[in-house]
């Protein structure tokens, strides 16, 4: 096997050395006024990387699907990636990472948000509900039942986002007509094209009058 | 049974529906493996040239980075070493090899992969990788290079190929017709953009044992491709694709990011997960190629077609030839005694296209069905009448009878349901307030294909049955349809049946593509059920001697019991037979392939789509108000999922007609529409109620269930139905898709 450029091949000692170097440098940094020229120097010396490494984790408390979580996360971690990669809640989907498709829709304190455009650390102390948190044991949420009945999906990838949005759409009072539902669900793309079935599911749940 | 049933009632819910609505369905990027690492692909920023150097120092210094891999340090893929063509690629030519050398063939091509311990760290470090290039002049502009189109290599190799120039009668006979027209049509590149980003998690269990969780449309073809690449026994590669978040064709090919992840996993000796970005989906995993078409068509004054000439040039990459059957419908849809077709390819410095739903047939149908509409207008004949008048009762291309064809019935029902009688022959004749109202139609057809497959079934002591097939389900509801077929043919309720799929360890199945899955795998399910019934009957005398010497046709299999048809009180449960034989399970594996008899017929599915559109004359805004689609697709196994598939095709067709356009900035050879804000696909507000009707008449020549494929005909013909409706509303004939408002004002 040819050579790999791998940090793993460096000794553990050199790694901790670099951390010590950083601490020295950061002491200098905090003592200095951060002028542009110093900032430039910092960039050249890769201090930015080291800064990130040292300060990367921030404490975060979240209630996810009714369970309190005390976490340490990097500030750049999105709520979506936190759910999928660290909490193993992969029901929330990544479809674009730019807030354009709605596949990552979750509820934060009961309101729909795009978790890909939401930094996890900004949600400290809030309640997050994902698709995994809708059913009560074996009892599906009425919206999940309606999606099943009306076949409001094909591949299933946009489905969690559609369902979370659909519930919010009713809660917001934006489900009074099919036209209105289509408008207020337009942030959730379904490339398989199950739209009319999704609309039918929402209409049924809305007409059913149950609290969602 | 009524001839046409509107799709209502209570067809079965999907067997995997609960997993999908609860978020429990697992897609390729959602397997948590121990010691998992994350790979982020670095893409080229030039369209053509050589990589002079890759500077990975900054990336390697970044926290958590495990490796930066490029052509400079990548291990050699053994299957590439001694053979320029290690695999027989599905599209001809040769797929791009990740990190093989310093050549750049298209903008966005993978040039490196950064592996780190978290996704965020890998993503950041990928931004720090700097490449220097020796840039060469690139050609990406189709219109500018159209004159350089070539005969496909596949035709040069095989002059009898279906893509070779075709002539029946005289190709240019249309030129002397009493009513004739010539027109050019342009279809831009379109990108599949399934909602799930292309993802793979690769893991080397041992030096010669590979596991991939991969977003593909065929686990077996992928298994074979990777076994060839790595020169390891095919059974040492396991491909798992239990859920596929849409694909529409882009999973029919193995792409460079897959091999990049596999190389990386081998080098870092850890599982590596790669999920492409939405932007990368535009550059790395295929697209529907930009296609220019020309049609010449002529008829006598009464509307009888006398000649059709159809020419197409499709885009491909410089390194790999991609072809599709763009001209097929023109060869066999209408009665014209004179037909000519000519298909060419234009290789450009772009990535390789791949079949996108309906594939070339949908592109071709846009031109043909538009031209038919134009001719109808020139003749002052209703387009419904013109199509019925030129309907053909046998296949004029192959000179064979159709296996089944109910297109006329589809047209009649569709016309009635859309309210065709309200249509004015003269454009602009119907208004609704400020809006101009138009009606249009388009016909679609696609081969009713069936391949070979095998299926295993295990009857367990508790009375349940587990079926297994390597087939994938990209969304149509394959598992559900198979459970229904198995239930009917084995006499066991659906609740007792599990259909496992998406794993290359399971029996052989081809790619899920070309609308062939139900016919192919469903037939294998039927064959396996048949074999299991034979085994049960062999065992039956052990429980009741009266079953001795009986044949299958003497016995009824229902409600998990065998009974003698003439004396139904003589019955025994399947599970009872297992007990008697001291078996914990009964395991049956059976394969199935198309019959010889089928080759005596021409086998196609047919569809017709009717659209009502409203066009605002001031703003050029187009609203599709209603679509009616009718399909002649043989037996419909599940009307709920089948209707959904038809609706999905209509949705795709709305995108094709009105929105989708991958726009390239030719200065850089790079798409400027590279996310879902700029590349528009239909959203809820764009899709009206869609009514779907099925003929639902079996075609037993194609397969024992009587099915014909559905996925492609759902979209083929939709775009011209909409553009024809726009003409009917406005009198404006737009021959370049998509029909955006600027083209109408």
Domain ranges of chain B: 37-137+195-246+251-282, 146-190+287-449+600-743, 453-593
Contact state of B689 with A196 under an 8 Å Cβ cutoff: yes
Shared domain check, A48 and A89: no
User: Which band of pLDDT confidence, cut at 50, 70 and 90, is reported for residue A169?
Assistant: very high
Task: Report whether pLDDT(B80) > 90.
Answer: no
Interval A182-206: pLDDT, tens: 999 999 999 999 999 999 999 999 9
Is residue A104, in this structure, part of any structural domain at all? Answer: yes
Domain end (from A72, A105, A133): A133
Name which of B30, B66, B73 is nearest A90 (Cβ-Cβ): B30
Q: Residue B120: which of A77, A148, A192 has the nearest Cβ?
A: A77
Answer yes or no: is A3 within a domain. Answer: no
Position B83 scores a pLDDT of 54
Same fold yes or no, B37-137+195-246+251-282 and B146-190+287-449+600-743: no
- Token pair, residue B556, equals 């009824």
- Closest chain A C-alpha to B245 CA, distance in angstroms: 5
The beta-carbon neighbor of A3 closest among B26, B73, B76 is B73
Q: CB atoms < 10 A from the CB of B538, how many?
A: 12
State the residue for tokens 């409001």: A152
Q: Is residue A150 part of a domain?
A: yes
Write down the ipTM of this complex: 0.96
CB-side neighbour CA atoms (13 Å) of B494: 14
Q: A37 and A82: one domain?
A: no
What is the share, in percent, of chain B residues with pLDDT greater than 70? 97
Rounded to an integer, what distance in angstroms lies between the CA atom of residue B371 and that of residue B179?
Answer: 12
Across B160-172, average pLDDT: 97
Domain CATH for A151: 1.10.150.120
Percent of chain B with pLDDT over 90: 95
Return the CATH class of domain B146-190+287-449+600-743: alpha beta
pLDDT at B112 exceeding the cut of 90: yes
Torsions phi, psi for A20 (to 5 deg)? -65, -45
Yes or no: say if B618 and B418 are a contact pair by the CB < 8 Å rule: no
The CATH label, of 3.20.20.70, 3.30.365.10, 3.40.50.880, 1.20.120.1200, for the domain at B453-593 is 3.30.365.10
Residue B685, chain A, CB below 8 Å: the answer is yes
Per-residue model confidence (pLDDT) at position A19: 40
Identify the pLDDT of residue A31. Answer: 41
> Model confidence over B554-606: pLDDT tens digits?
999 999 999 999 999 999 999 999 999 999 999 999 999 999 999 999 999 99
Residues A65 and A107 in one domain: yes
- In this structure, what are the phi and psi dihedrals at residue B501, rounded to the nearest 5 degrees? -145, 180
Distances in Å between the alpha carbon of B436 and those of A21, B123, B424, B624, B725? Answer: 73, 50, 11, 12, 10
The string of pLDDT tens digits covering residues B625-636 is 999 999 999 999
CATH number for the domain that contains residue A69: 3.10.20.30
> A158: nearest CA in chain B?
B195
Inside any domain, residue A123: yes
**Phi and psi dihedrals of B300, rounded to 5?**
-80, 175
Residue-averaged pLDDT of chain B: 95
Give me the active site residues of B, please: 712
Domain that holds residue A63: 58-133
pLDDT digits (tens, 9 = 90+) for A82-100: 999 999 999 999 999 999 9
pLDDT at A36 over 70: no
- Residue B75 to residue B266: CA distance in whole angstroms: 9
Domain boundary among the residues A87, A105, A133 is at: A133
Name the region of B550 (left: φ>0; alpha: ψ -120 to 50; beta: rest): beta
Contact between B644 and A98 using a beta-carbon 8 Å cutoff: no
- CB < 8 Å to A155, chain B: 194-196, 243-247, 474-475
Co-location of A126 and A167 in the same domain: no
Q: Are strands A127-129 and A105-108 parallel, antiparallel or unpaired?
A: antiparallel
- pLDDT in the model for residue A13: 37
Annotate B194-212 with DSSP letters as a single string: -SSPPEEEEEEEETTEEEE
Q: What is the mean pLDDT of residues B264-272?
A: 98
Name the burial class of residue B242, with classes exposed (0-12), middle (13-18) and buried (19+) by CB atoms within 10 angstroms of its CB: buried
pLDDT score at B406: 98
Token pair recorded at residue B594: 């198309």
Closest partner residue to B685 among A2, A93, A186, by Cβ? A186
Residues comprising chain B, all counted:
745
Do the Cβ atoms of A4 and B61 come within 8 Å?
Answer: no
CA distance B664 to B601: 44
pLDDT recorded at residue B89: 46
| B276 shares contact with chain A (CB less than 8 Å) | no
Q: What chain B residue is nearest to A90 in terms of C-alpha separation?
A: B30
Compare all CA atoms of chain B with the CA of A44 and give the residue at the minimum distance: B58
Q: How far apart are CA B372 and CA B392, in angstroms?
A: 15
Q: What is the CATH number of domain B37-137+195-246+251-282?
A: 3.90.1170.50
Domain contains A82: yes
B652 contacts chain A (CB < 8 A): yes
CB proximity list for B426: less than 8 A, separation 6 or greater: none
CA gap B505, B445 in Å, rounded:
34
Instruction: Looking at the structure, tell me whether residues A120 and A185 fall in a common domain.
Output: no
CA distance B590 to chain A (A): 28
* Judgement on whether residues A30 and A93 belong to the same structural domain of the protein: no
Residue A54 confidence class, pLDDT cut points 50, 70, 90: low
- A9 belongs to a structural domain: no
Residue of A83, A192, A194 to mutate when probing chain B, most B C-beta within 10 A: A192
Q: How many domains does chain A have?
A: 3
Strands B49-55 and B103-104, by their bridges, are: antiparallel
pLDDT score at A16: 41
Task: Kindly give, in sequence order, each residue whose CB lies less than 8 Å from that of residue B213, ignoring residues fewer than 6 positions away.
Answer: B28, B29, B31, B199, B200, B201, B240, B241
- Reported as a pLDDT band with limits 50, 70 and 90, residue A52 is low
CB contact under 8 A, A4 and B29: no
* CB pair distance less than 8 Å for B30 and A46: no
**Residue pLDDT, tens place only, B313-354:** 999 999 999 999 999 999 999 999 999 999 999 999 999 999
């Amino acid at each position: 096997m040819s050579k790999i450029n791998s940090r793993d091949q460096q000794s553990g000692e050199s790694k901790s050395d670099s951390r010590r170097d950083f601490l020295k440098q950061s002491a200098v940094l905090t003592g200095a006024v951060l002028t542009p020229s110093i900032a430039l120097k910092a960039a050249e010396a890769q201090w930015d990387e080291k800064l990130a490494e040292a300060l990367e984790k921030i404490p975060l408390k979240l209630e996810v699907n009714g369970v309190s979580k005390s976490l340490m996360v990097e500030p750049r971690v999105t709520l979506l990636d936190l759910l999928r990669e660290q909490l193993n809640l992969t029901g929330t989907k990544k479809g674009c990472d730019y807030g354009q498709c709605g596949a990552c829709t979750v509820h934060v304190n009961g309101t729909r948000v795009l978790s890909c455009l939401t930094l996890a650390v900004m949600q400290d102390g809030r309640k997050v509900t994902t698709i995994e948190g809708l059913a009560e044991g074996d009892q599906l949420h009425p919206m999940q039942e309606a999606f099943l009945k009306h076949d409001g999906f094909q591949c299933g990838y946009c489905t969690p986002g559609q369902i979370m949005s659909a519930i919010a759409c009713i809660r917001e009072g934006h489900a009074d007509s099919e036209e209105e539902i289509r408008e207020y669900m337009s942030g959730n793309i379904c490339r398989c094209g199950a739209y009319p079935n999704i609309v039918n599911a929402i209409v049924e749940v809305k007409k059913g009058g149950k609290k969602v | 049974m009524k001839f046409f049933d509107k799709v209502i009632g209570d067809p079965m819910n999907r067997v995997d529906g609960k997993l999908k609505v609860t978020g429990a369905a697992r897609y390729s990027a959602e397997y948590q493996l121990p010691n998992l690492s994350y790979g982020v692909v670095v893409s080229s920023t030039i369209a053509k040239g050589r990589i002079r150097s890759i500077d990975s120092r900054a990336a390697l210094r970044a926290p958590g980075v495990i490796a930066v891999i490029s052509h400079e340090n990548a291990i050699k893929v053994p299957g590439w070493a001694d053979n320029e063509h290690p695999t027989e690629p599905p599209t001809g030519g040769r797929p791009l090899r990740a990190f093989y050398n310093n050549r750049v063939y298209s903008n966005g091509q993978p040039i490196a992969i950064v592996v780190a311990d978290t996704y965020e760290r890998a993503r950041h470090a990928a931004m720090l990788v700097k490449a220097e290039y020796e840039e060469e002049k690139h050609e990406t502009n189709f219109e500018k290079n159209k004159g350089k189109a070539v005969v496909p290599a596949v035709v040069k190799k095989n002059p009898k190929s279906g893509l070779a120039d075709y002539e029946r009668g005289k190709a240019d006979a249309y030129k002397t017709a009493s009513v004739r027209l010539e027109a050019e049509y342009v279809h831009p590149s379109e990108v599949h953009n399934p909602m799930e980003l292309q993802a793979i998690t690769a893991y080397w269990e041992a030096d010669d044992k590979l596991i991939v969780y991969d977003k593909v449309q065929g686990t077996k073809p992928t298994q074979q491709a990777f076994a060839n690449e790595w020169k390891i026994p095919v059974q040492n590669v396991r491909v798992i694709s239990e859920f596929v978040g849409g694909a529409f064709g882009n999973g029919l090919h193995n792409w460079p990011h897959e091999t990049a992840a596999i190389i990386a996993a081998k080098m870092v000796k850890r599982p590596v997960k790669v999920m492409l970005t939405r932007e990368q989906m535009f550059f790395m995993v295929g697209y529907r190629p930009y296609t220019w078409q020309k049609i010449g068509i002529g008829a006598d004054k009464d509307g009888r077609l006398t000649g059709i000439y159809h020419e197409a040039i499709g885009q491909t990459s410089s390194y790999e030839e991609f072809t599709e059957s763009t001209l097929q419908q023109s060869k066999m849809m209408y009665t014209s005694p004179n037909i000519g077709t000519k298909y060419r390819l234009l290789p450009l410095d772009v990535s390789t296209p791949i079949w996108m739903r309906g594939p070339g047939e949908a592109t071709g149908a846009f031109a043909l069905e538009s031209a038919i509409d134009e001719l109808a207008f020139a003749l002052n004949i209703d387009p419904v009448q013109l199509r019925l008048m030129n309907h053909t009762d046998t296949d004029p291309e192959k000179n064979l009878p159709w296996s089944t064809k109910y297109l006329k019935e589809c047209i009649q029902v569709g016309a009635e349901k859309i309210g065709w009688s309200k249509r004015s022959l003269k454009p602009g004749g119907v208004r609704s307030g400020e809006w101009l109202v138009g009606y249009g139609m388009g016909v679609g057809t696609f081969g009713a294909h069936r391949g070979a497959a095998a299926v295993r079934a295990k009857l367990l002591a508790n009375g349940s049955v587990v079926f297994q097939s390597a087939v994938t389900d990209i969304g149509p509801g394959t598992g559900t349809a198979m459970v229904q077929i198995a239930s009917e043919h084995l006499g066991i309720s659906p609740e007792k049946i599990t259909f496992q799929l998406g794993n290359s360890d399971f029996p052989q199945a081809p790619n899920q593509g070309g609308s062939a899955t139900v016919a192919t795998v469903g037939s294998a399910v039927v064959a396996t059920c048949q074999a299991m019934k034979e085994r049960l009957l062999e065992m039956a005398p052990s429980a009741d001697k009266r079953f001795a010497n009986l044949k299958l046709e003497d016995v009824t299999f229902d409600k998990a019991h065998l009974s003698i048809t003439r004396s139904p009180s003589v019955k025994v449960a399947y599970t009872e037979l297992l007990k008697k034989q001291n078996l914990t399970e009964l395991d049956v594996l059976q394969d199935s392939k198309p019959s010889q008899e089928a080759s005596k017929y021409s086998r196609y599915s047919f569809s017709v789509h009717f659209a009502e559109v409203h066009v605002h004359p001031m703003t050029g805004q187009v609203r599709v108000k209603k679509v009616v689609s009718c399909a002649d697709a043989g037996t419909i196994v599940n009307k709920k999922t089948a209707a959904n598939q038809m609706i999905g095709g209509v949705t795709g067709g709305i995108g094709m007609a009105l929105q989708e356009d991958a726009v390239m900035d030719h200065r850089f050879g790079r798409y400027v529409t590279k996310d879902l804000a700029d590349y528009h696909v239909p959203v809820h507000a764009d899709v009206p109620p869609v009514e779907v009707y099925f003929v639902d008449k079996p075609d037993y020549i194609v397969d024992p269930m009587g099915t014909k494929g559905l996925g492609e005909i759902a979209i083929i013909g939709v775009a011209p139905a909409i553009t024809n409706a726009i003409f009917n509303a406005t009198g404006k004939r737009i021959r370049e898709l998509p029909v955006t408002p600027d083209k109408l004002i």
